[in-house]
Amino acid sequence: MKFIKNKTAFALILGSASGLLLIILAAGNVFDIWQLHLSDFLFSPRKTSEEIVIVPVDDKTISRLGPFDTWDRGNFAKVLENINKYDPKVVAFDFFFKSAKDPQTDEAFKEALQKTKAPVIFYQAEALQYDSHGYYIQPEQIRPLVLPLELLSNLPNMSMSMATALADPDKVLRKTLPIIRYENGQYYENLAITIARIALGGEAKPAQPLISPSQYQVKIANGTTLNIPLEKGQMIINYASSPNTDNFTKIPFVDVYLENYQPYGKTPEEFFKDKIVLIGPTARDFKDSQLTPMSSKDPMSGVSIHANALQTILEQKFLRNLTFAEKSILIIILALTAAFTFMFTKIRWSLLYLFGVPTAYSLAAKPAFNAGIILDLTHPYVTIAVTFVAVYLYRYVTEFKEKKELQSAFGKYVNPTLVKQITEHPESLKLGGEIREVTVMFTDIVHSSALGEKLKPESLVALLNEYFEAMSDVIMAEGGTVDKFEGDGIMAFFGAPVAQPDHSIRAARAAVNMRIKLNELLEKWGTGEFSRAGIPASLLPGGELKPPLDFRCGLSSGEVIVGNIGSASRFNYTVMGDVVNLGSRLEGANKEYGTSTMCGEETYQKIQSEYVCRELDILQVVGKKQAVKVYEIINEKSKMLDYQLHLVDEYAQGIALYRQRKFAEALSKFKTIVDSGIDDGPSKLYIQRCEIYKDYPPPANWTGVFEMRTK
């Protein structure tokens, strides 16, 4: 017992355990997708290089010169001849000249390339296999090497490159490959690296690449070595622009073709003299665009992505994430300092650490990013939170729980229905359970964390007590059992200990009536009524006004284990099973859809005769492999309002079109709802999805299932 109460030893144990847990999670890349999303916010527009000029084959060019598939090489030859008049440093083409077209114009293009100081063309490679030496391989027996037309690629002044990049799992392009290597030892550099090697006066590409999993070396002028940091053979692009802030110097292909420079206020010498010229497709028909960290909704053209990669190299503003060793050290330091802080300080100092240290760390992220280091934006926060929970659970067991005033108050939290059953059947006071069909309810106050920050402790307790009492009365009026209060949440169930065949109807009615009761409370707080003690009903013990409250609710029906669960000396009458977990997840899922009351398929089937519900989604919640249909409970059928009837009808048409993959038509339906003035969360969510899917349809085997990644 003395060892259990040794706070120093347990601070060390809990801190080390929390740190070890997070290191294991880091090794398993559990939070990688969140790290990617959070680090995207660190990117911001900056001045683009004046040395880079983009000549886009844009919609204007296509409209003037005709569809691209009708072009011969004469257009490229003429544009290149016009550019060569002004002595560019490098001219690179983001086009794959795979095969011959018209012999005469092919020859003209060849002659123009021969007269170019440093032309660069590329071929389409595929990164099929990562090699432990730090590069990607394209096995020729799987995908043979196909180079551009020999007439062009064999020119003595020509530099060959590849333009392959791998998007992350969220379809965002954050990195690019420095090289692709083939099994015969031949390799080609990335377009941006090839251009940078020439522009920086580098040596010819060596026979063997100077590469490792963490670095690619390029020999440039004066014997200097340019060290490009890599992560698993890929370079992180330090984007300087987004599609909306893409201020690289540009002049459309057609205007170079026609030598029409006057509208741009620059001479052709200013455009091309000693510049790096990138010629590439941007017209919509090419579909050559990708999402980037700075364009999560609007894709960026491939040639602009090459420009950003090139600027990263020219400016040597490289980025790297923390190594696994650096992450591990940081996690251990935070876990141990947090454990000792939480163990030996009062709650206010623990909360200061809990929120202050992550805030300070977050503020340091941008300066570190500007210095080329992307901080770990997930594990440190989780480390502190896990350590806080672990330490305070320990303190609860060894300190807080022993206080006598809590022992005398236990009876106040026992559900009256359960007390009555125990009184009548004292033999039930033993461990054990039975399978019973019930409906489980979970509720949680919206934005509850903000309440704890704004209110004094005594005010927060008084507010929650008044809220809990009102909600509990509604639940128990429908025959429900209040299982527990967790923070600001309520867990209850219907159908036990007393069997109720209509438990789902009771739960739905309770959920609707709880909202009515909450509105009555809010109205009472706002009317200036006085309590029996003469205190205004709107004031809390700390002197603050009672804030407006709202809550989310999740209902789930099915078979559970119900009974006395715990140890021989201490147990609780509660329910367990997948149905319980689903109810909890549905409560939290309301946040995603902007709804207040969500239920599962089983509950819906049992209440649809009396309640109007609408399908929200086919949802795969955290912890369950099988997806379930989820619904929002709107109102009792006999109490539906006109706007609710209109909403349900329009929404049903929209969701039907969405399931049929008619995303443009579904988008119109959902916009009709929002434009009518109804603040409808699900419609807004489906507007976002349809906007994406109409341009980037899901795969053919799409089932409409949405996977929740958070609880």
pLDDT top residue among 405 and 356: 356
Residue 476 pLDDT greater than 60, yes or no: yes
Question: Where exactly are the structural domains of the chain?
Answer: 7-30+322-402, 52-320, 425-638, 641-711
Alpha helices in 203-248 (DSSP H): none
For residue 130, the cross-strand partners are: 136
d(CA 318, CA 236): 7
**Which pLDDT does position 384 carry in this prediction?**
95
CB atoms within 10 A of CB 589: 24
Using CB atoms within 10 A of its CB, is residue 250 exposed (0-12), middle (13-18) or buried (19+)?
A: buried
Q: Report the first-to-last Cα separation within the chain, whole angstroms.
A: 36
Residue 426 pLDDT greater than 60, yes or no: no
Helix H or strand E encompassing 114 = helix 103-114
2: Cβ contacts below 8 Å, ≥ 6 apart:
none
Residue 533 pLDDT greater than 60, yes or no: no
**Per-residue confidence at 424, pLDDT binned at 50, 70, 90?**
low
Residue 429 pLDDT greater than 50, yes or no: no
Does the pTM of the predicted model rise above 0.85? no
pLDDT top residue among 23 and 539: 23
Q: Which residues of 551-568 are buried (b: 16+ CB within 10 A; e: fewer)?
A: bbbbbbbbebbbbbeeee
Q: What is the DSSP string of 618-681?
A: EEE-TT-SS-EEEEEEEEEGGG--HHHHHHHHHHHHHHHHHHTT-HHHHHHHHHHHHHTT---H
**Which pLDDT does position 141 carry in this prediction?**
63
133: Cβ contacts below 8 Å, ≥ 6 apart:
211, 212, 213
Per-residue pLDDT tens digits for 666-701: 999 999 999 998 999 999 999 999 999 998 999 988
Whether a cis peptide bond, with omega within 30° of 0, leads into 497 is yes
pLDDT top residue among 696 and 432: 696
Per-residue pLDDT tens digits for 58-96: 999 999 999 998 999 999 999 999 999 999 999 999 988
Check if CATH label 3.40.50.920 holds for domain 425-638: no
**Which pLDDT does position 145 carry in this prediction?**
67
Per-residue pLDDT tens digits for 650-671: 999 999 999 999 999 999 999 9
pLDDT mean over 348-355: 93
Per-residue pLDDT tens digits for 80-136: 999 999 999 999 999 888 888 888 998 999 999 999 999 888 887 777 777 777 777
For residue 539, the cross-strand partners are: 545
Residue with tokens 């988008």: 667
The DSSP bridge pattern shows strands 289-292 and 295-301 to be antiparallel
pLDDT mean over 506-520: 95
**Which pLDDT does position 418 carry in this prediction?**
53
**Per-residue confidence at 382, pLDDT binned at 50, 70, 90?**
very high
Give the lowest-confidence range in 192-201, 242-251, 686-695: 242-251
CA distances from 69 to 100, 108, 432, 465, 561 (A): 13, 19, 75, 72, 67
d(CA 417, CA 498): 8
For residue 481, the cross-strand partners are: 493
